Every structure is written in structure tokens, then in C-alpha cells.
Amino acid sequence: MLALAVARSVALVAAGLVTLVAVNPADASPTNPEYSQNSASYVVAGVNDYADRNRIGGTGAAIDSVVNGRANVTATPEEARRIQRLGYRVIRAQTEGFPAADAGYHDYAEMMAELDRAAKAHPTIMRKLSLGKSYEGRDMPLIKISDNVTEDEDEPEVLYGAHQHAREHLTVEMALYLVRLFTEQYGKDPRITRLVNSREIWIVPDMNPDGGEYDIVGGQYHNWRKNRQPAGDGYRGVDLNRNWGYKFGCCQGSSPVASSETYHGPRAFSAPETQRLRDFVLSRRVGGVQQIRAAIDFHTYSELVLWPYGYTERPSAPGLGQDQQRTFATLGGILAKSNGYTPEQSSSLYITDGSIIDWLWATQGVWAFTFEMYPGSPDKGGFYPPASVIAEQTARNREASLLLAEYADCAYRVIGKQQQYCPR
Ligand SMILES: [Zn+2]
């Protein structure tokens, strides 16, 4: 079907009827298994005539445009190899980038470059490390910010994570904002200086680099949510925030069907990306004590501050007694007051099982929140708000992010029970 469409498009180009050819949008649907392959953009040089174009189209690659003897194609790695074997020079397009109007967003390469720049500019307080590789082999950066950054000091640790869901690009900007905030304000803003000196701050700016890059392939959005791992039945993608190992798939808060947007995967931690972050979090257990005390996992959208559990509507459940529930609700309320979001237990939105915050709390005792960022409603751009909102909507979470880091020493302070739970 796709090949036919390409052949027809090529014929149109050859006839001079159109100069720019794109795959029919219906074929580009992310749920179409034919399109949901491991496709990427390539430039093919030496494409001079009708026969060249047909040979390339015959490999199964989609020809997006032909300009001055160079064809821009969308192809699987196998298709790209076939084109190469025909004798053409094939160059992998580094990145498509965001649609021009949204160039203010960072794609993967731009994000990595900014992190490298920041680490180079602030070597004494920032390190750029790696969680490991994504399914498609992209490096998943891990940022540490603290004084004496190369040492593992005995300080409360806080974790900020972003981009489990591919199309939620504003969350990457949130993470980059935090990197800038903690590094550039160190030594200038006393509050930030104090936090960097007394905390170990971990930032994971991109949990889903494969999905994020796929979502902007071709310079247009694909409304993609999951990662890019084969899921069976020709479909791709596991919902990373349903793949965590506490009450996995328990409660109809995720789907066992491969084509579903909330497909939880064949088993907990089946996705390389969730394995990577899980392994890092587990590595922060020192002498049996988890060093990470508090966390925010950034998502979009709805403007909500959410806390565990997501798998049950009950406010208290195993591992979450009355004091813990009160601490979550009180701290969640304080955070929400600072950014104007609505605070509520995660399950008030809808039941989710296998989420990161349920796992972080239930198995590691981390005070873990989900932030659903801007906008509050779909008419303000939904998952794709314009780049013009980035500065305001990331700075909006400055206070909440600092408050969480401050409470990382003992969250029970918010209900006045630090003596009982955090004895010195
Ligand atoms: Zn999300």
C-alpha cells in the first residue's frame, strides 16, 4: 500500500505535476503498523532522473522530496542499506528538528549540546553522566549538580525526571531550565547556593529520546507517546509510565494490547528506558538506605500536582498510612499553591498502574510527585504549545522545584512530625 503510494508520488514528480511529495497523512498515522517501523530520514545523493527515483522508491523507502539531485527519504535502516547497495551515497539526516514555528524547543541533539555546554561551563558543580542507552541506542543523559560534585557526599538527594512520554516536549525544556537555574544561579542566589551545597540534585532530562525524535520526524508532529520498541502485531511502543514494577498491570490502569497508547509491555521493566532509570535509582541505595528522598516526574498537560497512589482510589493503602498520606497531600498542596496547579491524588485523574511514582514511593520510600504542566486545556495547544510559552511555563515551576529540594531532608516537616520520623 505504502509502496504503491510512493510509486504514484514518484510518477507525479516525474511528470512535473508536483515538486514536493509527502507520504499521505493517513499513511503516516502512528498507529499504522506499516509506518510504525524504525524509520529515519536520509539524504540520497545523485538522484538525477526518473529511473533513479524509481530505483529508490522500489526499495520501499518513502521519497519526501527531490531537490537539485538530492532526495530526502524516510526509510528503515534496511531500506537505506538497499539504496546504498544500488550505488547511491546515503547520508543519515542528523535530525529533522522541530517544525520551524517551534524551533525554540530543543530536539535531542540540541538538548545534548546544551547539557555539554553547561557541564563545561560549571565543572565544579555539574557532571553530565549517562543512564545508559535507549532501545534505539541513544544515550540517556543523567545530570548531577552538587558542590564537590565528583564525590558521593552524605546529603539528601532529589530527582527530577522528564519526557517519559514522547510528545510531552515541554518537559525537556523544564529539565533544561532546572539545569540552568541550579548552575547559573549558584553563588548568586543564596537559596540556590544553599541547596546545591546541601543536596545532591539529579536531573534526567530525556527518558524517551527515541520517541521524542520520532515525534518530530519530517518536521511535523506525530502525536507519539510511547517508546519505539517493537510491541508485537507490527506495532511499536511501550508506555514507559505504565511499565514500572509496582502493581504492574493490576487494575485496568494500563493496556495489555500492543496497539494501545497505554500498552504496558509484556512484563514490568520490559523497556530498556525504565530499566535504566530503575537501575540508577537502586544504585542510590547506600547501606540499605535510599538516598533519593523526593522526586518530580514532569509530564504535560493539565496543570496538576499528583501523588501516589495511582493504582487505587483509596487514599491509604499498603505502604501509605495516614501520616504518609497527609504528608503527600499537604506538601502537594504547598507545591500547587506555588504554581497554580490543582493538587490531587494521582488516581483522581484516572487509575494508572505501573507508574513511576507508585514504584518510587512503594519500593523506595521516595516522596514522588507527577507534575502535569501547561496547558490546562487542549485549546491552548494541548501537547504542542508554541515555543513562546517555554520561558514562562518552566519558570512557573521554579518555586515548587526548590521547595521540593528543601523538603528532601524530611518531608514530614510539613505535618510537624519531623521529631517522630526524622530523628537526628
Ligand atoms: Zn505523560
Cβ neighbours for 371, distance < 8 A, ≥ 6 positions apart: 296, 297, 298, 299, 304, 305, 306, 339, 341, 397, 400
The H-assigned helical ranges of 58-153 are 77-85, 108-121
Q: What is the pTM of this model?
A: 0.80
Quickly count: other Cβ atoms within 10 Å of residue 218's Cβ: 19
Residue 216 to residue 223: CA distance in whole angstroms: 9
| Grid coordinates belonging to 310 | 495511582
- What is the pLDDT at residue 26? 33
Helix or strand holding residue 57 (H, E): helix 50-57
Residue 200, beta-bridge partner list:
157
| Grid coordinates belonging to 322 | 495516614
Residue 299, beta-bridge partner list:
372
CA 324 to centroid of ligand 1, rounded, Å: 25
| Grid coordinates belonging to 149 | 560534585
CA 142 to centroid of ligand 1, rounded, Å: 19
Helix or strand holding residue 235 (H, E): strand 235-236
- What is the pLDDT at residue 94? 54
CA 418 to centroid of ligand 1, rounded, Å: 33
- What is the pLDDT at residue 58? 78
Catalytic residue set: 372
Q: Which residues of the chain have pLDDT under 50?
A: 1-37
Domains parsed from the chain with CATH numbers: 2-93 (no CATH), 102-421 (3.40.630.10)
Count, in order, helices (H) and strands (E) of the chain: 13, 16
Given a contact cutoff of 8 angstroms between Cβ atoms, the answer to whether 96 and 41 are in contact is yes
Q: How many residues belong to the chain?
A: 424
pLDDT in tens, 229-247: 999 888 999 999 999 999 9
- What is the pLDDT at residue 358? 98
CA 23 to centroid of ligand 1, rounded, Å: 28
| Grid coordinates belonging to 365 | 520510600
- What is the pLDDT at residue 8? 35
- What is the pLDDT at residue 75? 75
Classify 90 as helix, strand or coil: strand
Name the residue among 120, 98, 93, 100 with its Cα closest to residue 110.
Answer: 98
Residue 295 to residue 359: CA distance in whole angstroms: 12
Given a contact cutoff of 8 angstroms between Cβ atoms, the answer to whether 345 and 245 are in contact is no
Residue 257 to residue 233: CA distance in whole angstroms: 10
pLDDT in tens, 1-18: 333 333 333 333 333 333
- What is the pLDDT at residue 191? 98
| Grid coordinates belonging to 194 | 544553599
Name the strands in the sheet holding 304-307, side by side, starting at the edge strand that comes first in the sequence: 126-133, 139-145, 200-204, 157-162, 292-300, 367-373, 304-307, 342-345
Residue 289, beta-bridge partner list:
286
- What is the pLDDT at residue 64? 65
**Nearest-5° angle of CA 364, CA 369, CA 370?**
125
CA 76 to centroid of ligand 1, rounded, Å: 27
Cβ neighbours for 319, distance < 8 A, ≥ 6 positions apart: 361, 362
CA 226 to centroid of ligand 1, rounded, Å: 9
CA 398 to centroid of ligand 1, rounded, Å: 20
- What is the pLDDT at residue 62? 67
- What is the pLDDT at residue 66? 67
CA 216 to centroid of ligand 1, rounded, Å: 17
Where are any strands of DSSP class E within 10-96?
A: 40-45, 62-67, 70-75, 89-92
